[in-house]
Amino acid sequence: MRPIKARISLDAMAHNLRIARQHAGSAKVIAVVKANAYGHGLSRALRALVAADAFAVLTMEEAANLRQMGIQQPILLLEGLFSVEELQLCTDLDVWPMIHCRQQIDWLKQRPAARPLNLFVKFDSGMHRLGFALSEFDAVMAELQSLPAVGEITLMTHFAQADESAGIAPALQAFQQHAGPTQLAWTTANSAALLRYPEARGDWVRPGIMLYGASPFTEIPAAELGLKPAMKLQSEIIAVQQLKAGDCLGYGCAFRAEQAMRIGVVACGYADGYPRHAPTGTPILVDGQRTRTLGRVSMDMLFTDLSTLPDARAGSPVVLWGEQLPVEDVAHAAHTISYELLCALAPRVRVEEI
């Protein structure tokens, strides 16, 4: 059996949810489990996060899966409706859609008013991705509140720079100038805002990446935030090669040895979800000791430097990320973010729960 596998800790996810609750204060917690729970597996994440007050997903299919798995808590659709037909599914599954555009309001007007539907209404506070302009706030709210098909409304925005030094102050102030006078429930805080800005808590918070034990900040490690990594991606050395000075390594000769050295071949590649663009120098653990990758990642294998690890051999354990090697460190070296690495875990990788 190929040695690569991902070990998923339910206890770590449950621990991270408790950290989210500590930061949330009196706000309720919506656990974001979109993208197959950020690559960790939806069903296992639900078992770990069962104490959440609500769940957030991207699609109606994901919402239906949650209901089939026995989830009774509210479910929020983070991109809202994709067709008028999904309104009936929202009723059948008791799902809360997020409303962010005029077309969705038009669909609501077509909906029978037998059972009012609870909504989250999103306003754009500076990201310019989804949401009504704040200048439309009064008109949008008046229209929605006039519809018999609409029940409770929760106001929502999403910050563009909660994880950066620019922060959230202008965006939060602009949002609250409109939301505050309504006295409606509101939500603004993703993981970064929840951890850094208590003024953004509102009535609901929406932790995502922190539930899986990764930091939303480039400058603050997850451990410093009290988070525990839920995923450990591990494999083994499957071959050892000796290079002479001048020898090249792998496709495109992307690495050339300046002196004689030992290298290890690891059973892990981009078809497993490891980033192909990870350059020479990306951190990796062999026999529990940090070393570096070398050359270009191929589909099924990558190379690691064994120059300082004389005892490493075929069969030596390798950690691609997890405990002792934060996924953020790998992401930083590969010029990406931990979200992408976790979500990219390939279906062919065996998963074990611990």
Q: Give dist(CA 319, CA 284) in Å, integer.
A: 6
Q: Tell me the two tokens of residue 270.
A: 């981009």
- Among 212, 244, 251, 270, the active-site one is 251
- The pLDDT assigned to 112 comes to 72
Q: Is 34 tagged catalytic?
A: yes
What is the b/e burial string over 253-285, where b = at least 16 CB atoms within 10 angstroms of the residue's CB?
eebebeeebbbbbbbbbbebbbbeebbeebbbb
Q: How far apart are CA 144 and CA 141, in angstroms?
A: 5
Structure tokens at 75: 């479910």
* Residue 122 is among the residues annotated as catalytic for this protein: no
CA distances 15 to 10, 226, 230, 339, Å, are 9, 9, 10, 19
Q: What is the mean pLDDT of each run of 10 residues along the chain (354 residues)?
A: 97 98 98 98 96 97 96 96 92 95 94 84 96 97 94 97 94 96 96 97 97 95 97 98 96 95 98 98 98 98 97 97 95 97 97 95
Quick one: pLDDT at residue 154? 98
Kindly name the residue from 5, 28, 34, 212 that is annotated as catalytic. Answer: 34
Give the end-to-end CA distance of the chain in Å, rounded to a whole number: 19
Look at residues 69, 80, 127, 128 and name the one whose alpha carbon lies nearest to residue 108.
80
